[in-house]
Structure 1
Amino acid sequence: MLAVIGFSYTGMGLGGMFLGAGKLGPGLATVLANAQPLFAAVLSFFIVREVVTGRVFIGLLIGFIGVVVLAMPEMEFGNARFSGAVYVLGGAIGTAIGNVLLKYQAGSDDIYWSMGIQLVIGSLFLGIASASLGEPMEIDWTWSFTTAIFVLAIPATALMVVLWYALLASAPLNSLNSFTFLTPVFGLVIGMLLFGETFNTVEMIGIGITIVGLIIVVKAPRKQRSAQSLGRKRGV
C-alpha cells in the first residue's frame, strides 16, 4: 500500500505538478491542479465508501469555480502546451489517488514511519524517471538553492504530509480537501504582504466564491461510511 501511495501521491503528484507548471501559464496550471478534490470525491466513494452528499459536492464545485475565477487573469490558452496540461492533470489524478489511499490507511499505523517510507519511494521513482529522461544531474549548491530545497523538503512537504495524514484519521477526506482551494488565495495574500501586490476586482470575486464554497462544505452534515469504520464494526 505504501508503495502505491508513494508512486501516486509523491511520484505522480509532485512530479506532474513540477513538470507541467513550467509549460503552462500559472492560471491554467492552478485550475487544472485544483481539480484534484473533484477527482478524489469520486474515487473516495468507491474505495473508502465515503458518502459525498449533494451539499458537499456543490460546495466543492463552487470552490473550484472560485479558483477558476481567481486564475482567469493569468490564463494563457494560446500558449499552453498539451504536454504541460497532461502533466498537471496527471499530477492532480495522482494526488487524488494518493489522498484516497491515505484516507484508507489513516489511523492503522505509525504516522512518521509510513509517511517517511512513502516519501522515499516517491523520490526513488522521480529519480529513476529523471535519469531515464536524460535530465542533467549536476547541481549548483548555492545558499539560496539549498535554503529553497530545505524549505520545500521539510516544512512544505514532510511536515505537511504528516499533518495531513493525522487529519485524515479523524475527518472526512472531502471536507479536508475543500481547504486546498485556499492555496491560490494564500498565494495572493502572501504576495500582498511580502511583495506589495494588490488584489483586482476579479481576484476579490474569486476569493469570495472560494470562501463560500468552503463554508458550504464545512457546514454540511457529516455522513460518512468508510471501509475503516465498517471494518471496526465487524471487529476486523
Structure 2
Amino acid sequence: MQLKTNTQLPFGILGLIAPFFLWGTAMVAMKGVIPNTTPLFMAGFRLLPAGILVLIAASIMKRPQPKGWAAWLWIGLFALVDGALFQGFLAEGLVRISAGLGSVMIDSQPLAVALLSGLLFGEIIGLWGSVGLGIGILGISLIGLPDSWIISLLHGDALTLNFSLQGLFEHGQWLMLLAALSMALGTVMIRYVSQYADPVTATGWHMVLGGLPLFALSGMWESQQWVNIDLGGWVALGYSTIFGSAIAYGLFFYFASSGNLTSLSSLTFLTPIFALFFGKLFLSEVLTPIQWIGVSLTLVSIYLINQRQEIAHRLQSIMNQGGTTPDSISPLSETPRLKAGA
C-alpha cells in the first residue's frame, strides 16, 4: 500500500515529513556540540528531558497511561532497543565518524525494516518498492561515502578500494550500523507496543526509561560532561532534545503505530538531504557533484516506494489494454492494509 495520512491532521503531509526534517537538522545542531561534551551525556540529554515533554503533552491530550505488565514489558524492551542502544550507538559513533558517512550508515535501516515487516506483518513491497529501496541505498551512499571510494570502484581500482575499506570499522562505522539496526528494530516493535499501550504515551516512557541508563553510564565513565558547553551549545542541545527528539519521535511513532512501516521508513532517506542542506547553510559544507546525484536518486527512491501500488496499477491497466495478461505483476500491487496489532 501507499503511505496514507489522515487529511484532518493539522500538518497533513508536512507532519509526515517533519520527523525526518527535524532529525536532519538536529544532526547539524549536534555536530557543533560534540567537541564540547561527552557522547553518553549527549545521548541521555536527547532522551530523558524529551520523554518528559512527550508525557506532559500526552497528559494534556488525555492519552491513556500504560496498564498491565505486558504494556510495561514491551515499553521496557522498546526503551532498551530504540532508546538506550540507538541513541548510545549514535552518539558514540558521531565522535568517531563524519556526519555524512554516519548518516549513510543510519539511513540504511529501511532495508532492515522492509525485511522485518515482510516477515512479521506480511507487508508486500513488490517490484517497484524493491527497486526504490535499491536506488535509495545507492543515493545515500553517493551522498555520504567518500568520493575517492566511489571513483576507485568505478575505475576498478580494487587495491585502493580494499585499502580504504580496511579502515571502515576503525572509525565508528560499525557503531552506526548497530544504531541503524536498533532503529529498525524499534520501528517494528512499535506495532507490538501499540497493542498494549497508547503509542504517544509509550514513546514518552521509552525515552525516559532509555535515557536513565545513558545518564548512569555517563556518570560512571565520563567526566566534565557540561563544563565546556557554551550558550550556543545549550541552545543546540535544546533544539536536538525538543525538536529532534520529543516532537520528531512523537510524530514518527504515531504514524508507525498504524501506517505502512516500509513506506514510512523509506522517508528516512530524506534525513541526510536535510542534514546536508542545513549543513551547507549553517556550517558552509559543500555538496560535490556526486552527492548531488545521490540527492536526486534519493528523491526518486522515495517516489517509487510510496507510489509503488499506483505504478503497478497503471502498468496493469496498460497491459490489460494491450491484451497482455498481467498475472506476473498483479501480486505486486496487492499490498494488504495493515493496522496496529496486525
Q: Same fold (TM over 0.5)?
A: yes
**What are the residue-to-residue correspondences of 1:6-45 with 2, within 5 Å?**
6-45=79-118
Deviation at 1:224, TM superposition (A): 3.1
Closer, same or farther in 2 for the Cα pair 1:23/1:53, shift >3 Å? same
Stretch moving more, 167-176 or 104-113 = 104-113
Deviates more, 1:143-152 or 1:75-84: 75-84
Aligned counterpart, 1:139: 226
Q: TM (normalized to structure 2)?
A: 0.60
Aligned equivalents of 2:141 and 2:278: distance in 1? 19
Q: Which runs of 4+ in 1 moved over 4 A?
A: 74-81, 195-198
- Count of matched residue positions in the alignment of Structure 1 and Structure 2: 229
- 1:138, CA displacement in angstroms? 4.4
Aligned to 1:50: 123
CA distance in 1, matches of 2:231, 2:180: 31
Equivalence for 1:86: 174
Matched, 1:59 2:147: no
Higher mean displacement: 25-34 or 151-160: 25-34
- Pair 1:181 & 2:254 matched: no
2:307 aligned to 216, 219, 226, which one? 219
Partner of 1:234: none
The CA RMSD over aligned residues, in Å, is 2.5
Gaps in structure 1 of 5+ consecutive residues:
231-236
The whole-number CA distance in structure 2 between the counterparts of 1:197 and 1:145 is: 19
Q: Cα distance, 1:128 vs. partner? A: 3.2
Residues 97-121 of structure 1: CA distance to partner in whole angstroms, max 9, x if unpaired? 0000113334763344211100011
Q: How does 1:186-225 map to 2 (within 5 A)?
A: 186-195=274-283, 197-221=285-309, 223-224=335-336
**Which of residues 188, 195, 201 in structure 2 aligns to 1:113?**
201
Question: Structure 1 residues 77 and 22 mapped into 2: Cα distance closer, same or farther (>3 Å)?
Answer: farther
Q: 1:179-199: CA deviations, max 9, x gaps?
A: 111111112222344455554
1:7 is paired with a residue whose SS is helix
Maintained 8 Å contact 1:48/1:228: no
Cα distance in 1, alignment partners of residues 114 and 217 from structure 2: 29
> Aligned partners of 1:164, 1:114: CA distance in 2, in Å?
12
Q: Secondary structure at the match of 1:22?
A: helix
What is the one-letter code of the residue matched to 1:62? I
Letter in 1 for 2:92: L
- The unaligned stretches of length 5 or more in structure 2 are 1-73, 150-163, 310-333
Q: Evaluate the alpha carbon distance shift between residue 59 and residue 155 of structure 1 in structure 2; reply closer, same or farther with a 3 A threshold.
A: same
Bigger-Rg structure (1/2) = 2
Letter in 2 for 1:55: W
Report if the CA contact (8 A) 1:106-1:165 is conserved: no
Q: Deviations over 1:121-169 (max 9, x none)?
A: 110122233345x211542253223212211111110110110122123
Q: TM-score, normalised by structure 1?
A: 0.85
Aligned residue for 1:161?
249
Q: What is the aligned-residue identity percentage? A: 25
The letter of the residue matching 2:336 is Q
Q: Is residue 191–residue 258 contact of structure 2 (8 Å, CA) maintained in 1?
A: no
Q: Residues 23, 77 of structure 1: CA spacing in aligned structure 2 closer, same or farther, 3 A cutoff?
A: farther
Give the deviation of 1:96 after TM superposition.
0.5
Task: After superposition, give the CA deviation of every residue in 1:25-74 in whole Å (9 maximum; x if it has no partner).
Answer: 33432222111111111122233332332322221121111000111346
